[in-house]
Structure 1
Amino acid sequence: MAMVIEADVAVIGAGMAGVSVAYELAGEHTVVLLEQESQPAYHTTGRSAAMFLESYGGPEVRALTAASRPLFDSAGSLLSPRPLLWVAPEEQMDRLATLAAAQPELRRLDPAEAAAHCSALRTDWVAGALLEENASEIDVLGLHQFYLGGARRRGTTVLVGAAVRAGRHDGSRWLLDTAAGPVAAAAVVNAAGAWADVVAVALGVPPLGMTPLRRTAAVARTGRVDRAWPLVADVGETFYFRPEGAGVLVSPADETPSEPCDARPDDLDVALAVERVNEATDLGLRSVRTAWAGLRTFAPDRKPVTGPDPAAPGLWWLAGQGGYGIQIGPALGRMAAAAVTGGAVPEALSVARFR
């Protein structure tokens, strides 16, 4: 009979959500981190081209982003400055005005000023723009390793190839049947990303209606790129691009519903990204060097879900981060750990909750 691994908390999922909450819990509590794949961060976290954008998302996301900033600043060189340029053709100017009214800290630019920041933009396409000067690229794997390595140093047991097949609460603790052997824990944190509802069903708990959405990205070849260009995104969220080495990273900002899976890029989505970027610029992109896809998972109201499940004692959710999971990961990990242990949740972090 396999030996039962016992812990105070079992965290399911070793993407950014799972490693951040494991790090915050470890030290004062015994933690086991369960990952179904053969390595952590295999899916969405490992494929993210994340940015730290304080103008991105709704009020809750923006508050969590701001609350995450101190961790990024204290953890070392995880952020590299790259401004965000929101651009709008004439038909999107009403959206640009709405964004400008909601976030007056963004600087308004005319077409010529926008082109001064990114010389590839066509001034006959851009009708207006907004600039977030303090945006940054995130070293995603660096942040993930900060948490994963820190959790291990604090005593966390990390098990890969440990898909949760079933689980039940015996009145005092959770008993989990995993592919790596049985696990017993007083509390379980469901941080399984696109698989969060699958895990819930395995635990005999009603799913929350999480929807994984595929996002495609590619690096296109170009003979003309300036590493100082900002991230450029249209305010209607139909494309974005930024420098990536000697090429340009492009995306059609797609949100294609998907089953939880090892996401693969669709050739039509890649072609659409290239077409839309070519329409707004004079880059003349023709060929693609590499392409990939990841799943961004949302709750029905598109807000993060963090907190106890009222139908299941000792079960906590940390899911539904959508496309914001990297930039809000530090705040959500800290908030979730405080909730699991009964600690006080800082007011700045109280904007996400279980519904």
Structure 2
Amino acid sequence: MVTTDILIVGGGMAGFSMAATLAPHAGVILIEQESQPGYHASGRSVAFWEESYGGPGVQPLTSASGPLLRAPDPAFSETPFLGPRSAIHIGKADDDGLAEGMLAAFAGSGVTFERVDRAAMLRALPGLREPWVVGVAEPSCRDIDAAGLLGAYRRAAIRAGTRVQLSTRFAAARREGRGWQVETSSGTIACGMIVNAAGAWADDVARRAGLGPLAIKPYRRTVVQLRCPEAPAHFPLIADLGGGFYFKSEGAGRLWLSPHDETPDVPRDVAPEELDVAIAIDRFCAVVDWRIAAVEHKWAGLRSFAPDRLPAYGFDPRTEGFFWFAGQGGFGIQTAPAAALIGGALALGQPLPPAVAMIDAAAYAPGRLIED
């Protein structure tokens, strides 16, 4: 039997960011059921950082992460994780109310928006079809190096002493004395704390530890890579105000497109459905008049949400030593630095660091999701 202070379940962005934060203060083992880190949601991101994405409840986490991604500690990374992009949220004439609602929802948040007319939209997106006349620009939107960020957290975690066990499945856990005895496919691990960073499998991990779930449910998201010769080499992230699509350039004549689908699914290695790919292309063709020369690649990933669409960070109030770090939806990468600082402080019983001290961590407490 192996002994450690903290066992982290999940080897994606959530798990490795927590490992990097906790390992300087305690012994940490991280287990991942797949043979490589970041295999599921963390490795299937469209890779943008957008302050409005996820809504007003998530925005403080994204905004607080911005400075840490733009200018990371040199000991963590010698290069920034954010690159040029910007975004424009577009709509038709009857979507003006959606535009005003978006501006109202983020009033006072510090996020900058600009109403833009059709002429400005056409300059940013040549070939935009006639019905699209409503625009809200979000200049702060950036590309994010998701793979680089995961790699930096992984390196930091290992440098700080984290022991990583890949191809290791969490089977069961029970309280024993003041800690936990955890059965895995690679053997037994005794620990004082379990950190549940298992993404789509988070509720399953809780059940295997004898706890009730938080109703964190996985939803399938589809992404398609298209080759469009008329597409500019660089244009803003284009997002539908009505939530029907988003797409962004990926070099000359190529782009990534999603129908912004959220299809209820189960924890698994998901693949794209042909119907969802067809819907994505149909919606895209209604936006711009670019010729599609080829569908070069397509994939899908799971995004896991709690019922209120906010993440769960904190100890489960029903037992000792079980810490939730899950429910990050599609915003887990862009909020990773702030989330890890909050999660690490809560797990260690420390005050929130200055970079996140203005955030109300109680809004993300898992107890809000537990029925009496």
Measured against the shorter chain, the TM-score band is over 0.9
- For the 8 Å contact 1:18–1:191, the answer to whether it is kept is yes
Could you give the per-residue CA deviations for residues 179-226 of structure 1, whole angstroms, max 9, x where no partner exists? 121111101100000000111111111011111000000111211121
Alignment of 1:263-302 (within 5 A): 263-285=270-292, 287-302=294-309
Alignment correspondent of 2:192: 186
1:56 and 2:59 correspond:
no
Alignment correspondent of 1:149: 155
1:6 and 2:6 correspond:
no
TM-score, normalising length: structure 1: 0.96
Alignment correspondent of 1:353: 365
1:88 and 2:100 correspond:
no
1:338 and 2:351 correspond:
no
Could you give the per-residue CA deviations for residues 3-60 of structure 1, whole angstroms, max 9, x where no partner exists? x221111110011111111100011211001101111100010111121111222222
1:44 and 2:41 correspond:
yes
Could you give the per-residue CA deviations for residues 85-138 of structure 1, whole angstroms, max 9, x where no partner exists? 10001232211111123346201011111111111312x121210111121111
1:208 and 2:214 correspond:
yes
- For the 8 Å contact 1:81–1:134, the answer to whether it is kept is no
State the 1:349 CA deviation.
Answer: 5.5
The amino acid that maps onto 2:83 is S
Cα–Cα, structure 1 residues 286 and 94, in superposed 2: closer, same or farther, change >3 Å?
A: farther
Runs of 4+ in 1 over 6 A off after TM superposition: none
Give me the whole-angstrom Cα distance separating, in 1, the residues matched to 2:58 and 2:141. Answer: 15
Give me the whole-angstrom Cα distance separating, in 2, the residues matched to 1:208 and 1:352. Answer: 12
Give me the whole-angstrom Cα distance separating, in 2, the residues matched to 1:281 and 1:291. Answer: 20
* Count of aligned positions: 351
1:238 and 2:244 correspond:
yes
The amino acid that maps onto 1:321 is Q
State the 1:286 CA deviation.
Answer: 5.4
Give me the whole-angstrom Cα distance separating, in 1, the residues matched to 2:143 and 2:23. Answer: 28
- For the 8 Å contact 2:32–2:167, the answer to whether it is kept is yes
Task: Give structure 2 stretches of 5+ with no counterpart.
Answer: 73-78
Alignment correspondent of 2:228: 222
Alignment correspondent of 1:34: 31
The amino acid that maps onto 1:11 is I
Could you give the per-residue CA deviations for residues 144-177 of structure 1, whole angstroms, max 9, x where no partner exists? 0110110000100000011100110112111110
Could you give the per-residue CA deviations for residues 275-302 of structure 1, whole angstroms, max 9, x where no partner exists? 1111011113253111000000000111
- For the 8 Å contact 1:85–1:131, the answer to whether it is kept is yes
Give me the whole-angstrom Cα distance separating, in 2, the residues matched to 1:51 and 1:17. Answer: 17
Alignment correspondent of 1:18: 15
How much identity, in percent, do the aligned residues show? 40
Q: Secondary structure at the match of 2:221?
A: strand
Could you give the per-residue CA deviations for residues 300-354 of structure 1, whole angstroms, max 9, x where no partner exists? 1111111110112100000111011111111111111111110012232524222
Give me the whole-angstrom Cα distance separating, in 2, the residues matched to 1:280 and 1:69. Answer: 30
Give me the whole-angstrom Cα distance separating, in 1, the residues matched to 2:204 and 2:94. Answer: 41
User: Which one of 250, 257, 273 corresponds to residue 250 of structure 1?
Assistant: 257
Report the more deviating stretch, 241-250 or 78-87.
241-250
- For the 8 Å contact 1:331–1:349, the answer to whether it is kept is no
Give me the whole-angstrom Cα distance separating, in 1, the residues matched to 2:48 and 2:364. Answer: 20
User: Which one of 124, 136, 142 corresponds to residue 130 of structure 1?
Assistant: 136
CA RMSD of aligned residues (A): 1.3
- For the 8 Å contact 1:25–1:31, the answer to whether it is kept is yes
Report the more deviating stretch, 130-139 or 341-350.
341-350
- For the 8 Å contact 1:63–1:349, the answer to whether it is kept is no
State the 1:227 CA deviation.
Answer: 2.2
The amino acid that maps onto 1:8 is D
State the 1:247 CA deviation.
Answer: 1.3
1:139 and 2:160 correspond:
no
The amino acid that maps onto 1:239 is F
- For the 8 Å contact 2:230–2:291, the answer to whether it is kept is no
Alignment correspondent of 2:105: 102
The amino acid that maps onto 2:97 is D
TM-score, normalising length: structure 2: 0.92
- For the 8 Å contact 2:95–2:242, the answer to whether it is kept is yes
The amino acid that maps onto 1:87 is I
- For the 8 Å contact 1:213–1:258, the answer to whether it is kept is yes
Q: Secondary structure at the match of 1:17?
A: helix
